[in-house]
Amino acid sequence: MTEQPKDFVGDRTSVELFAGGGGLAMAVHRAGFRPLLFNEFNTRACETLEASATKTLGDDGIIRTQDRKPTAPKPGEPAPLYPGDVQDLDLSALRGQVDVLAGGPPCQPFSAGGVAKGDEDKRNMFPAMFKAIREMQPKAVICENVRGLLRPSFKEYFDYIQRELQLPFVEREDSVRWQVHNAQLERLLAQRPANDRDDQRYHVVQVPVNAADYGVPQIRHRVVLVAFRADLDVDVDTFEKYVKTPRFSASALYRSMRDEDGEYWQRHSKVPEHVRERVRASLPKIIGEDDCAPWRTLRDAIQGFGTDTRLPELPPIDLAKLDRKSEQAARLGITDHIGWPAARIYKGHTPNELDRPAKTVKAGVHGVPGGESVMLLDERVHDSSVENGWRYEHRYMTVRETARVMTFPDEWQGAGPRGEKMRQLGNAVPVVLGEFFAKAVADALGNAGH
């Protein structure tokens, strides 16, 4: 992807649906887009957006509105936040004014952690996304969702989703089964040339991603759909090659750890030798070569490495005072960096390791089942029941540590109790991942003269 043309002058704009805790919204703003509208149904998430707006979404802020047909704010004015059902919105007043429509429609219908009803589930909000496209006709669309959409059982329906995104103006009537509509879209697409420059057609790129490959300190498998309006003549092939090229790799991380004085250990000079030995002993015997940067780890996130600006190291949590959360909060002076008691390790519930990317942060509607919110520490105690006589301590990750794993800035302020904040983070798009795609979209539009 070449750099954005230097003669580009303009006011890039965005609309964010299903904004949640603001991950993708922050990403799109950091890529240079001015928000025209936010929409989010959940009350606590709306409070989070408001609390964090001026620090993470620009200086103009957010203002709640009950206007179901919102108009675009002028530069310098706050962006409206509609705190209700996206299906109630009429976005036609924004037609022709939106560069990027971004959003992650609720993923529960397709998640392996949910009931996986797919298109039959009333929580499937893809139809609302297509309605928004018809009303606004944005230049580009960025849509993130769970990798469950790629499962064989959902393949036919996911193919249908992509065809709808290609031809969103061919609307499906409520009485028509999706299979019938899918067949209609297939016929229409077969009749049109690939280079068709219709302003009611979109060229779609599907990108399966592991967020760790894009600089996120977390193993997070998702699928990103990006669509460009066909009449804009965007070089979609170049865009697709760019966004599918790995930037970070496990092999590069292993190479940085392999030697006692490796780059990783130079960065983390305070790590005890027994931890270094344990990590080096677990490395693959054969490590590949590539031109990638090292995967970022949980330790990187906690100690503030791996962002554009080095963040302060988060102080340790006192394991003897996990029940005295308010006392810790006052002592540390860091929002949401508070210990939590009763973390457990057992079969199928294993903790995160500091010197690996974290496990996938999950929303955990019914509790997080795999130990994703537990972390293994550097501290150890004698334990004769363990093979080598040592047992490593563990604890729950704090909300702030989890936010860093999601590459949220420390200015982000989650609303509600711990469980609600963790839910917002688990449902979010990592900011670094979203920003990569949003910048790539901005470059692609700029290179096409838009």
**Single pTM value for the model:** 0.93
Give pLDDT, residue 330.
73
Q: Which of 71, 158, 69 is nearest to 110 (CA)?
A: 158
Chain Cα centroid distance, residue 374? 20
- E strand or H helix at 437: helix 431-447
pLDDT at 369: 57
Query: Is 22 contained in some domain?
Result: yes
**In the prediction, which pLDDT does 10 show?**
60
β 34-39/13-17 pair status:
parallel
226, 239 Cβ separation under 8 angstroms: yes
pLDDT of residue 7: 43
Encoding tokens for residue 246?
Answer: 């790995």
Cα–Cα nearest to 142, from 102, 200, 202: 102
Return d(Cα 131, Cα 90) in angstroms, integer: 9
pLDDT given at position 192: 81
Active-site residue flag, 46: no
Does a structural domain hold residue 85? yes
* Residues contacting residue 88 through CB under 8 Å, at least 6 positions apart: 68
Return the sign of the alpha-carbon dihedral for residues 30, 32, 33, 34.
positive
The CB density around residue 442, as the number of other CB atoms within 10 Å, is 21
Give residue 134's domain range. Answer: 13-247+429-447
Indicate which residue of 46, 107, 143, 292 is catalytic.
Answer: 107
Q: Provide the pLDDT for residue 365.
A: 46
What are the backbone dihedrals phi and psi of residue 202, each rounded to the nearest 5 degrees, phi first?
-125, 145
401 falls within a domain: no
Q: Report the alpha-carbon distance of residue 325 to residue 168 in Å, rounded.
A: 50
pLDDT at residue 6, as a whole number:
41
* pLDDT at residue 122 in the model: 62
> What is the number of other CB atoms lying within 10 angstroms of the CB of residue 190?
7
Question: Residue 340 phi/psi, 5° resolution?
Answer: -145, 135
Contact, 223 vs 209, CB < 8 A?
yes
Whether 388 and 307 have beta carbons less than 8 Å apart is answered as: no
The reply to whether 69 falls in a domain is yes
Q: Tell me, what's the pLDDT at 274?
A: 96
**Count of CB atoms situated within 10 Å of the CB of 256:** 17
Contact 265, 271 (CB under 8 A): yes
User: In 131-289, at which residue ranges do the beta strands (DSSP E only) sit?
Assistant: 140-146, 202-210, 221-229, 248-249
Q: Considering its fold, how many domains does the chain have in total? A: 1
Q: Which of 133, 126, 96, 127 is nearest to 13 (CA)?
A: 96
117 inside domain: yes
392: in domain: no
Q: Using an 8 Å Cβ cutoff, are 50 and 40 in contact?
A: no
- With beta carbons less than 8 A apart as the criterion, state whether 78 and 35 touch: no
In a domain, 358, yes or no: no
373, 397 contact by CB (below 8 A): yes
Strand partners, 140: 100, 228
Q: What share of the chain is helix, strand, coil (3-state, %, to 5)?
A: 35, 15, 45
Listed residue (293, 305, 231) closest to 268, CA to CA: 305
Give every strand in the sheet of 13-17, ordered side by side.
Answer: 62-64, 79-82, 34-39, 13-17, 100-103, 140-146, 221-229, 202-210
Angle at 351 between CA 347 and CA 355, to 5 degrees: 140
Pairing mode, strands 221-229 and 140-146? antiparallel
Is 311 domain-assigned?
Answer: no
Residue 111, pLDDT score = 47
Q: Which residues make beta-bridge pairs with 14?
A: 35, 100
We report the CATH number of the domain holding residue 194 as 3.40.50.150
pLDDT per 10-residue tile (average), the chain, 450 residues: 45 95 96 96 95 84 95 95 95 97 76 47 80 97 91 89 96 91 95 82 97 97 97 97 96 97 96 96 96 97 85 92 80 85 90 97 65 92 89 95 95 93 95 97 96
